[in-house]
Amino acid sequence: MTTNHENQQMSTLSTPRLVIGAPQGRSGKTTFTLGLLRALSRQGLPVQPYKKGPDYIDTSWHTAAAGRVSRNLDSFMMSQEDICRSLAQHSQDCQFSLIEGAMGLFDGLDINGSASTAEIAKITSSPVLLVLDATRITRSLGAIVMGCQHFDPNINIVGVVLNKIARARHEKLARETIEQYCRIPVVGAIPKDSRILIPDRHLGLVTNGEWSETDTFLDNLADVVSENVDIAKIMELAQTAAPLSYSTPTKFSVSQGYPLKTKPPAPRIGVIRDAAFSFYYPENLAVLESKGAELVTISALAHQHLPKDLDALYIGGGFPEVFAEQLANNRTLRQEIRLAGEDGLPIYAECGGLMFLGRSIITGDGSYDMVGLLPLDTRMEKKPQGHGYTVMKVLENNPWFRQPKIRGHEFHNSSVLNLDRTKIEFGFEVERGHGIDGKYEGICYKGVMAAYNHIHALGSPDWAECMVKLATQYKERRSKMVFELFKSS
């Protein structure tokens, strides 16, 4: 991705930091990261969490554990400069930054490991702490660590945490092998314990908002980490991170904030945010506000009416299929959203939001009525229908983006059925990914843009400006109609 280097000055970040990596997925990175975050938080140490890659659920758990909003660092959707600026901006007032990786350390999009955890470690000049699943393996763990050390000499692996240790002899043999042959410390050995597993579903872990025992669970994880891991040694290893140079715009950027583009009163943008729709990048919401919008939070589960005088609506992803019956029972709100959409209210909907705007969601338990604004139904399938990074070519009729192409990601187990193509247009042509049908993505109907594709404001900086512009135009049209009615009365 390209970056404009004009009007920038260089700064340096010296905050201690670590990347939590593993040779493969499901090694225990998330549970260890959460336990460490909560343990440090309980000690009164401000720690800033990050997640490599496109992820909403792990970041929500990070936020609950650390008491600070977790951020995503993704080298497919973001430039290196944006990654470093985001890391620097949100780490300035903390003593430690922790970046949880995804999948295996070197797993990326291609043979070069692009968009991998290792790439993030190199971009951010961060040392790596490996979490190893020690199930049914002892001395061979040393070979795995040594392989990671030599696979890419630019990756600085500084320590190891052993996970799922069976007994003392198991730990002793694994620890001594790694420390003798790999010359790095084993800073912890976590025993097998089914109590520290987070339930998951088709998109990964359940969201922390769905659990009433979140704090109890996180405290239990912190106890496990505190008892079995040398936290002081981890902090010492984090201090080996080299100073990170990054460019600071002298004007503005997405991460630093935009100047206001609209005149008061600001357009009001509703954001449906609850247990059913919780997938929002904090940067997306922040940039809408910095562009001049007033955000109004709405619950599709608890609120029966839309707020008055909305000028646009933002519906993120989530799990509407899990709450389908509750959404279906909220008939008044569904009707108000449909009528507002038919009136031309700008609505931006991602994944779960697309499903909600359709006629129905079909699950294994039955069919549930949704908003009915879009001429389609969605059905939950047994396997993912779209999974991974996306590249979308923006079509001419799409008013939500000025960029010729946008990068994003998708992860959905639903498919679109019974789409009446005579009533809609598509906003994107798929170059990478699946979208609606493998060829097109982004359903445009009146003021609606609904897509499976998720975008991040750092990678699509003009999206927010376009949304606020559309909201302002709708506000002006609505005000003009009210004025004409008043004049004629």
Catalytic residues: 351
Q: 429: left (phi > 0), else alpha (psi -120 to 50), else beta?
A: beta
d(CA 469, CA 463): 10
**Chain position carrying tokens 């089914």:** 194
Find out whether 43 and 35 touch, Cβ atoms under 8 Å: no
Find out whether 43 and 151 touch, Cβ atoms under 8 Å: no
d(CA 34, CA 9): 35
408 DSSP β-pair partners? 390
> Helices then strands (H, E): number in the chain?
13, 26
204 DSSP β-pair partners? 201
Q: Where are the strands (E) in 287-439, listed by range?
A: 294-298, 312-315, 317-318, 347-350, 360-363, 366-369, 377-380, 386-394, 405-412, 414-417, 425-432
Helix runs in 350-418, H state only: 352-357
d(CA 128, CA 161): 11
d(CA 172, CA 226): 19
Find out whether 225 and 193 touch, Cβ atoms under 8 Å: no
> Structure tokens of 301?
């589960």
SS3 429: strand
Q: What is the amino acid identity at position 90?
A: H
d(CA 70, CA 193): 26
SS3 94: coil
Find out whether 375 and 359 touch, Cβ atoms under 8 Å: yes
d(CA 171, CA 162): 8
d(CA 1, CA 182): 36
> Structure tokens of 369?
């009525």
Report CA dihedral (443, 444, 450, 454) to the nearest 10 degrees: 80
Determine the distance from the C-alpha atom of residue 156 to the mean position of all C-alpha atoms in its chain, rounded to a whole number: 26
d(CA 439, CA 460): 21
Cα atoms in the 13 Å half-sphere on the side-chain side of 438: 1
